[in-house]
Amino acid sequence: MDTNSTESRWRPSPRAVFSRQFAALFEAAGNPTLRRVAAAAEARMRGARAAGQKGAVSVQRISDWKGGRNVPARFESLIPVLLTLIGEARKSSGPVPPALLDMQEWKRLWTAADDWDPDSEMSECPYLGLTSYRRRDAELFFGRSRPTGEFTELVRRTVDADGGIVVLVGASGAGKSSLLEAGVIPELTRAGQDWEVCALTPGVDPVRALLDALARAQTEPDVSAGEPEPGAASAETTRDPRGTEIDEVSAESVAAVIAGWAVGSNGVCS
């Protein structure tokens, strides 16, 4: 396998896909409490089952489905929960992916997750330990959707306002590199804009380091797929079709510079 490939190195299991979509439906519905969803689902089921028949969906069971710990034993027990969440999602003012509202799609997801045998395939562990996530790990990067979205929007606003520097500051080991590499940069490139991505360590001459990185980006198309040095800043630039030499790279070539700085216990940035 090419370690510089930006393609996913890990294929999520059908159960992981199901739980991810189930969590996304919760979010589209406004993240109602598990107790509220369970009560609403129970009310839907009450009129459908025979007298004395059990079948209430518990809060713990819904939590397990959402967390990917297991899937419903029967699709019928999932239906009232889905109908409850879909009803809330339809009331949302924001856009909702059509797949989240499609019961046939949910039946397909449930069937795949229910039939899946964990021992039938080998998957690469998605947890990288102390290693930071890179662009090729974007599909493994979870739990940072809100800061990723907020920071990406800040970069876009900066570009729309004629460019500038956007700085991400945090303690060493807090996950700045992962947020930029596996969160923000993939999100920007998914937007369909023509971004050139290069990484650099500012060093003693930050301007020269930036110009060098821009020049390399113009002559080495695959530079964005490489492994930047730990602590390197990511420079997001628009492609310059002129192939200018380093001394001819103008300020207009740079749309935005995204810098990740670590703050030590003494408050000093590094």
Residue 4: band (very low, low, confident or very high) from pLDDT cuts 50, 70, 90:
very low
Between 93 and 190, the more confident residue is 93
pLDDT tens-place string over residues 182-236: 888 888 877 556 677 777 777 888 888 888 887 877 776 544 444 444 445 554 4
Tens-place pLDDT, residues 145-156? 888 888 888 888
112 in the same domain as 42: yes
Q: Is residue 268 part of a domain?
A: no
156 and 210: one domain?
Answer: yes
Say whether pLDDT at 53 is over 60.
no
Residues 145 and 101 in one domain: no
C-alpha Rg value of the chain to the nearest Å: 23
- Confidence at residue 256, expressed as pLDDT on a 0 to 100 scale: 56
Q: Looking at the structure, do residues 157 and 249 belong to the same domain, yes or no?
A: yes
- Residue 6 covered by a domain: no
Query: In this structure, is residue 239 part of a structural domain?
Result: yes
User: Does 160 share its domain with 211?
Assistant: yes
Specify the number of domains making up the chain. 2
From 90, 120, 150, give the residue that closes a domain: 120
pLDDT single digits (tens) 100-128: 999 999 999 999 999 988 766 655 667 77
User: What domain range is 71 assigned to?
Assistant: 14-120
Domain closes at, from 66, 97, 120? 120
- Residue 38, pLDDT above cutoff 60: yes
